[in-house]
Amino acid sequence: MIVRPQQHWLARLFVWHGSVLPKITSRLFMNFLLSIVVVWMLPWYTSLGIKLTVAPFSILGVAIAIFLGFRNNACFARYSEARLLWGQLMIASRSLLREVKTTLPNDPDLSHFVRLQIAFAHCLRMTLRRKPQGETLAKYLTSHELHQVLNSHSPANCILLLMAEWLAERRTQGALPDMLFHSITQRMHDMAVVLSGCERIFTTPLPFAYSLILHRTVYLFCIMLPFALVVDLHFMTPFVSVLISYTFISLDTLAEELEDPFGEEDNDLPLDAICNAIEIDLLQMIDADELPHKMTPGKNYQLT
């Protein structure tokens, strides 16, 4: 995620990092070259008696804009829901530890429960980003727990089970009354809801056929556009064609980024920073001696 201070409107026109321009520059350059070729071939093109007008492109452009708007709205809804889910995870984590600590203030193994909570957040983050988890989870789990988690079909769900077993053991010992046990497990249910919601977004992309037909239409439109503009615009054709192509191609590319909000691209969610904030909050709640450093935006204002 790009976390950039407010800029003057003129300076924002020339911002490079964080936009989709680095991804589509080569495509716009190809469109520019194609437009130059079309201008150069204009005499031969008109001698064939074939003349494209801007009228059909105006109608098609409106249709493409509408469908791009629908697709971008759908992708942004996925992004917004993913951020909401991770916000709920922060709330549930804090509430769960607050209830456990006030109910079991003298439990000597409370720090282990906190490590399980932190491991859950990191495990979910790395699962969504398709990263190996062993090295990171080894900092918070015992060797037996780590083996159990890594061999599970859903590692994050396995950590939730370990947390539930920790609470059930206190309940069996009589340290945790039934009423409070059910109240605390409701917080864990909230974490399970977050896990399921993230898995739903992660495993269910937008329908491929819908994205494909829109992608093809956008690029065919941009390829044919210079042929319609050249008759009226002549040498201005490359500049106008690139400007229009930039609008459509950038919207199509941005939708691809937002469709998977859990990645590590410039416009994806800062899951590293969210997990870092959860870890700091939980460790402070048990008065831990050592706390991790708070993550801040790094190079080019990027927060991962």
Whole-number Å distance between alpha carbons of 92 and 191: 6
Q: Is the pLDDT of residue 42 over 70?
A: yes
Q: What is the pLDDT of residues 261-281, one digit of tens each?
A: 998 887 888 898 999 999 999
Structure tokens at 102: 């006030």
At residue 43 the predicted structure's pLDDT band, cuts being 50, 70 and 90, is confident
Whole-angstrom distance, CA of residue 131 vs CA of residue 250: 28
pLDDT at 38 over 90: no
What DSSP state is assigned to residue 302? Answer: B
Residues 168-188: pLDDT tens digits? 988 888 888 888 888 888 888
Give the span between the Cα atoms of 300 and 296, in whole angstroms.
Answer: 12
Residue 244 is encoded by which pair of tokens?
């229009």
Least confident piece of the model among 197-201, 218-222, 229-233: 229-233
Q: What pTM was estimated for this model as a whole?
A: 0.87
- Interatomic CA distance for residues 181 and 158, integer angstroms: 19
Q: Model confidence at 302, in pLDDT bands (50, 70, 90)?
A: low
Sign of CA dihedral 203, 209, 212, 218: negative
Which candidate, 197, 214, 220, places its Cα nearest to that of 252? 214
Stronger pLDDT, 120 or 228, i.e. the higher one: 120
Can you give the pLDDT at residue 116? 94
C-beta of residue 68 within 8 angstroms of C-beta of residue 214: yes
